Structure 1
Amino acid sequence: MEKLPKVGLPILIGFIILIVIIAKSAVTIDSGEAGVLFKTFGEGVVVDEPPMGEGFHIVAPWNKVFVYEVRQQEILERMNVLSSNGLDIKLEASIWFQPDFKQLGKLHQEKSEMYKERVLLPAIRSAARSVVGRYTPEQLYSSKRDAIQQEIFEETKKIVEDQYIQLNEVLVRDVTLPPTIKDAIERKLKQEQESLEYEFRLVTAAKEAEKQIIEAQGKADANRILSASLTDKILQDKGIEATIKLSESPNSKVIVIGSGDSGMPIILGNQ
């Protein structure tokens, strides 16, 4: 009976050691993640093999696995930048990015898990300051927002494209100007809008006046042509036609032939 504990104790210890080894060796990588293997007694970070994908993996207990999120991520960055005339502008931008999956080992080896703070954020700040410094506050507030956004994206991409980071998009969410500058710009834009409306009304009125002049000129030309074409002979013929039609009507009347001006009939009647 006393020998049983002595035999069972090494087995128990071995079982515990086995559990610890399995626990240390088992690595589960979740959806949207990838692992970088570090070989303690080898070459260190494995850079010449693809990263470890999603699922369950067994590694040597003396090695380490560094897990990275490889799906698209977002960073919201607020920064102060200067416009072309030296005014302080507050810029808020969203950066959509993800690590380069194939180069994940090199990213970990050269930049570490702090790659966002060490590479991406300094790059977006530098690009934003460079781009915004080319524009006036008025351009930042109104017409150039899309152009500024695209330029910041392109300049940031140039910086990080060889840093194992995939930049997907940069979105300028807000541009905040000093209150006095913003009010001045809004007043100017309002005045410009009112001026455009006034010019539109003037152009509309001028076109309407021109239309009326053209219509009046057309009527005058038509009357002049008609007057020129109505000779005495034509008027007499028209009068005769009218007299014939009136004589055929049942209303009582007296027609005096040749007694009117130019020899036209005079029509007398009670209707």
Structure 2
Amino acid sequence: MRHLTKAILLVAVVLALQGCSTTVEPGQRGLRWYPLTEGLAPETLKSGSYWRAPWNQINLYNVRWRRYIETVDVLSSDNLPITLKTVVLMRPIPEELYFLVKEIGPDFYPRVAKRELLTAIRSVVSHYPMATILEHSSEIAGEVEAVVVEKLKDRHVQVGSVTMGDIELAKVVLDSVPRKQGKEQEREQ
């Protein structure tokens, strides 16, 4: 009977201690949460296993590069509609994770970065005529990236790249371009 009690107690202790460990995987960072005392601790935990009291937590955050795709309707400098598919690569800065979580929250993209990206795209594209958007797409992407990096520099987020994917010009415009080019060629002759 005594051995059975010890065995049950040992199993209970092992199970309780097993719940007091958290593993931070590669590509993640952890922040300790002490609900009874200081709250969120500023120390960023790297990959590894960490012990904690049963009433405390270690919150895990993904710090890998993530790709966000946005389809944006914009107007060119000649007020013609264009639909752009833009891909931005970004991630939280691992060393600044505590400040990101405290100031913005872990869902930084929909709360802050998306708005800045869409505004930058609309602002930059509005300086180009519709006919030059396709040939200047890499230049436009570079300008958008520079604007987004500048806007997010104090937001604890790192921007890897911005690229323009699909570019859809309005059908009415596409039909009129060959006619316009034909008329210009006739005038030159």
1:42 aligns with 2:37: yes
1:89 aligns with 2:82: yes
- How many equivalent residue pairs? 188
Give the residue type in structure 2 aligned to 1:164.
Answer: H
Q: Percent identity?
A: 24
Greater relative contact order (Cα < 8 A, sep 6+)? 2
1:161 aligns with 2:157: no
Using the alignment, how far apart are the partners of 1:189 and 1:118 within structure 2? 44
Q: 1:160 to 1:180 in 2, by over 3 A?
A: same
Q: 2:165 aligns with which of 173, 182, 186?
A: 173
1:21 aligns with 2:13: no
Using the alignment, how far apart are the partners of 2:37 and 2:118 within structure 1? 38
Please report how far the alpha carbon of residue 92 of structure 1 lies from its aligned counterpart in structure 2 after TM superposition: 0.5
Unmatched 5+ residue regions in structure 1? Answer: 200-271
Using the alignment, how far apart are the partners of 2:151 and 2:173 within structure 1? 32
- Per the alignment, in what secondary structure is the counterpart of residue 45 of structure 2? coil
| TM-score normalised to structure 2 length | 0.86
Q: 1:135 to 1:112 in 2, by over 3 A?
A: same
Using the alignment, how far apart are the partners of 2:37 and 2:163 within structure 1? 43
Residue deviations 1:80-112, cap 9 Å, x none? 122223322111111111111110111112222
Q: 1:56 aligns with which of 31, 39, 49?
A: 49
Please report how far the alpha carbon of residue 186 of structure 1 lies from its aligned counterpart in structure 2 after TM superposition: 4.6
Native 8 Å contact 1:81 1:88 kept in 2: yes
Please report how far the alpha carbon of residue 165 of structure 1 lies from its aligned counterpart in structure 2 after TM superposition: 0.2
Using the alignment, how far apart are the partners of 2:178 and 2:93 within structure 1? 44
Q: 1:16 to 1:78 in 2, by over 3 A?
A: farther
Q: 1:16 to 1:119 in 2, by over 3 A?
A: farther
- Per the alignment, in what secondary structure is the counterpart of residue 141 of structure 1? coil
Native 8 Å contact 1:96 1:167 kept in 2: yes
- Per the alignment, in what secondary structure is the counterpart of residue 133 of structure 2? helix
- Per the alignment, in what secondary structure is the counterpart of residue 61 of structure 1? coil
- Larger strand proportion, structure 1 or 2? 2
Native 8 Å contact 1:84 1:132 kept in 2: yes
| TM-score normalised to structure 1 length | 0.62
Please report how far the alpha carbon of residue 146 of structure 1 lies from its aligned counterpart in structure 2 after TM superposition: 2.0
Give the residue type in structure 2 aligned to 1:60.
Answer: A
Please report how far the alpha carbon of residue 184 of structure 1 lies from its aligned counterpart in structure 2 after TM superposition: 2.5
Q: 1:115 aligns with which of 108, 115, 119?
A: 108
- Per the alignment, in what secondary structure is the counterpart of residue 85 of structure 1? coil
Please report how far the alpha carbon of residue 27 of structure 1 lies from its aligned counterpart in structure 2 after TM superposition: 0.9
Q: In terms of Rg, which structure is larger?
A: 1
1:206 corresponding residue in structure 2: none
1:205 corresponding residue in structure 2: none
Q: 1:55 to 1:189 in 2, by over 3 A?
A: farther
1:124 corresponding residue in structure 2: 117
1:33 aligns with 2:28: yes
Deviates more, 1:122-131 or 1:34-43: 34-43
Residue deviations 1:207-244, cap 9 Å, x none? xxxxxxxxxxxxxxxxxxxxxxxxxxxxxxxxxxxxxx
Q: 1:183 to 1:62 in 2, by over 3 A?
A: same
Using the alignment, how far apart are the partners of 2:10 and 2:179 within structure 1? 80
Native 8 Å contact 1:149 1:170 kept in 2: yes
1:247 corresponding residue in structure 2: none
Native 8 Å contact 2:138 2:163 kept in 1: no
Matches within 5 A, 1:230-245: none
Structure 1 segments of 4+ aligned residues over 6 angstroms from their partners: none
1:70 aligns with 2:67: no
